[in-house]
Amino acid sequence: MNPVAKRVLTGLSIAAVVIAAIVFAPKCLFAPVILALIALAVVEYAALLKVKVPVKSVGFAAALVVGALVIGCGLWSLVRWSAIGGDQGGLWLLYIVAIVKFSDVGGFAFGLTSAKLLKGGNHKLCPSVSPGKSWEGLAGSLILSSVVSCCFLALTHFGIGKALAFGVAAALVGTFGDLVESKFKRWVGVKDSSAFKFTNGMGGILDMLDSLLFAPAVLLPFV
């Protein structure tokens, strides 16, 4: 199968499972599931870190602690999103995940399309860190994230301005998280973070969660 088609189909399948889980799963399961994702992400981070840093060194221990704190605190903020609005907590969790991850979708789709349409190719956003990122892709991230944010107005009761601001912020901070993870991968010398083999073309756990490392925590105080 074409790698792009494989990635799209896998992404859609994962998205369907995540949406169904958030909407229909008991709220009491959110924290254990998020904790399990944190554990998987930290294990994957440690597996990549040891490629570059001796496991028994002080540097490895320090980097592991810092990375675990960033991953843990960032993703644990999703639990706090699920606590907003009482019984509607699941929908608030869906909201933040949707605006961040659809930002990824917009970036991928717009970037891929513009690369085919523009004669000279895309304008690179940060080629030394992530060669695939482009300004055109970022524009797609901003647009789709903002549109999705506005689709949740019945839940959030935001004004249009605030909904658009949340969409823009989710796209920008999500892209920052993606670049941070890309910088780490480039440092350890790997193309993707895959330490587990069940992601079917989507990279590793960190690759799928990188845009969620900062955005939910940054946006939470402004709800």
11-63 pLDDT tens trace: 667 777 888 888 888 888 999 999 999 999 999 999 999 999 999 999 999 99
Lowest-confidence range among 3-7, 74-78, 163-167?
A: 3-7
Tell me, what's the pLDDT at 65? 97
Phi and psi torsions of 118, nearest 5°: -80, 130
Give the predicted TM-score (pTM) of the model.
0.91
Question: For residue 162, how far is the Cα from the chain centroid?
Answer: 21
Give me the pLDDT at residue 72, please: 97
| Distances in whole angstroms, Cα of residue 92 to Cα of each of 36, 49, 101 | 20, 34, 14
pLDDT at 8: 63
pLDDT digit string, tens, across residues 171-223 = 999 999 999 999 999 999 888 776 655 455 557 889 989 999 999 999 999 99
Contacts of 55 (CB under 8 A, 6+ apart): none
Cα separation values, 215 from 6, 101, 119, 219, Å: 27, 10, 34, 6
Q: Residue 142 to residues 36, 135, 160, 164: CA-CA distances in angstroms?
A: 30, 11, 15, 9
127-137: average pLDDT? 91
pLDDT averaged over the chain? 89
- Cβ-based neighbours of 214, under 8 Å, separated by 6 or more: 74, 173, 174, 176, 177, 180
Helix (H, G, I), strand (E, B) or coil at 200: coil
**Residue 85 — pLDDT band, cuts 50, 70, 90?**
confident
Candidates 126, 54, 92, 105; CA nearest to 220 is 92
- Percentage, residues of the chain above pLDDT 70: 91
Predicted pLDDT at 204? 85
- Of the ranges 91-95, 136-140, 189-193, which one carries the lowest mean pLDDT score? 189-193
